[in-house]
Structure 1
Amino acid sequence: MTTSDTATAGRARPENPEPEPNSGPLDGDPALIGVPTFVVGSIALGLTLVGFVPPGAAGAPVAIILAATGIGQLVAAVWAAGLGQSAVASIFGIFSGFWLSYGLLVLGLTHHWFGIPEQSATATQALFLASWTVTVALLALATLRLPVAYTSLFGLIAVALAVVLLATVMGSTGLQAVGGYVVFSFAALGCYLFFHVMSLATGGRGLPLGSPVLGS
């Protein structure tokens, strides 16, 4: 997400706005770190959900999710905050919390860090998924004044969380795989957004992101 995506939201603007210049040592677009690190974690999570790794290897994506995605989102959030991009910092900060807490949840349940009985593991995962489903759905609604590509991204994430929540509660591997494919869909949209911000950063034109659902 670029500065221009948020600063001009809700006003008449061209389909591919040019990035606004910033001054100071933090010049640039935090999305250049935030978006690709989000994509790599999403791909790893999607592969896990569709059964690319054995069912007992739920911790397989944790190294990527913690070391790349969680930290990458946090760096992007701090960078955006330093530029005064409060909406961008909020979005990356929220997803930093999601990815870091997901990694901590998996490690905590695997190594019994939290004293949670084994029979309560499913309820614990459901609590995590329900909490984040609501939060990301609120984020999608709160970004209706941004280009529709961003709202679609957050909406797909909320749908994926809801599907995985149902799969967890019902113990359905089929639904879990469906959730994985929804994860791949928002990872693909993330790739599109990365091409958008990278094109702008290298002197090109941005890609079409669609008009906001809500105007000013």
Structure 2
Amino acid sequence: MTASDAATTDQETIANQSSEPDSGPLAGDPSLIGVPTFVVGSIALGMTLAGFVPAEAVGAPVAIILAATGIGQLVAALWAAGTGQSAVASIFGIFSGFWLSYGFLVLGLTHDWFGVPAESATATQAVFLTSWLIAVALLAVATLRLPAAYTVLFTLIAVALALVLIATVQDSVQLKAIGGYVVFSFAALGGYLFLHVMSEATGGRGLPLGRPVLGA
């Protein structure tokens, strides 16, 4: 075999390997964990904000948010990072931070973990909501090249955060309830996205997600 024949053989081998689907331990779609755990936490949060539980029962969704949603988002982020899906890992990592920090905020304020005086609780919540509102708004802008469903999802989350921020500062039960119903709207969109990724994972066609706002 000549050197040129050996080089051709090597190139064919590399091409065949690159065309084979990834079947390693991290193969697959991390959205299959990230999206449904996001949905269940959103439903629990929306029900709390909308007044399905008494106002003093602010910790009602924390078990779901910490044990299911926060951990689920973290698992999905690590899975996506392991497969080289940087954008997906970023999204799930961001929301892992949001849900976990929300759970710890509620637990910390209700159990006086952080030494925050009662009269400063509203300002503390405002700091949390403002910080995450800015982060999610940036995420919405950063996803303008993704299918429109994702941009709409993050925009709705930002709107919900803005409403809850205003409701918290003004101590408005009505605005907080409206924020809860906006949470239900992005939970419903999350459910649609879950049906999309599950359809693809089971051999079907994905659902329409809309054209990106910005082209390539």
Structure 1 and Structure 2 fold alike (TM over 0.5): yes
Work out the CA distance in 2 between the residues paired with 1:25 and 1:132.
33
Aligned to 1:25: 25
Aligned to 1:81: 81
1:214 partnered with 2:214: yes
SS in 2 for 1:60: coil
Offset from partner CA, 1:60-112 (integer Å, 9 cap, x none): 00000000000000000000000000000000000000000000000000000
Aligned to 1:71: 71
1:154 partnered with 2:154: yes
Aligned to 1:111: 111
Work out the CA distance in 1 between the residues paired with 2:21 and 2:199.
15
Aligned to 1:188: 188
Q: Percent identity?
A: 81
Deviation at 1:208, TM superposition (A): 0.1
Q: How is 1:20-169 mapped onto 2 (pairs within 5 angstroms)?
A: 21-169=21-169
Work out the CA distance in 1 between the residues paired with 2:70 and 2:191.
18
Normalised by the length of structure 1, the TM-score is 0.90
Change (3 A) 1:177 1:21: farther
Normalised by the length of structure 2, the TM-score is 0.90
Work out the CA distance in 1 between the residues paired with 2:110 and 2:46.
20
SS in 2 for 1:44: helix
**Code of the aligned partner of 2:150:** Y
Change (3 A) 1:145 1:21: farther
Aligned residues: 197
User: Is 1:163–1:179's contact at 8 Å kept on the other side of the alignment?
Assistant: yes
Aligned to 2:170: 170
Work out the CA distance in 2 between the residues paired with 1:133 and 1:175.
16
Aligned to 2:8: none
Deviation at 1:23, TM superposition (A): 3.7
Query: Hey, which bits of structure 1, 4+ residues long, moved more than 6 A?
Result: none
Work out the CA distance in 2 between the residues paired with 1:153 and 1:45.
16
Superposed CA RMSD: 0.9
Work out the CA distance in 1 between the residues paired with 2:160 and 2:166.
10
User: Is 1:40–1:69's contact at 8 Å kept on the other side of the alignment?
Assistant: yes
Aligned to 1:11: none
Work out the CA distance in 2 between the residues paired with 1:198 and 1:23.
18
Higher-helix-fraction structure: 2
Any gaps of 5 or more consecutive residues in structure 1? 1-19
Any gaps of 5 or more consecutive residues in structure 2? 1-19
Aligned to 1:17: none
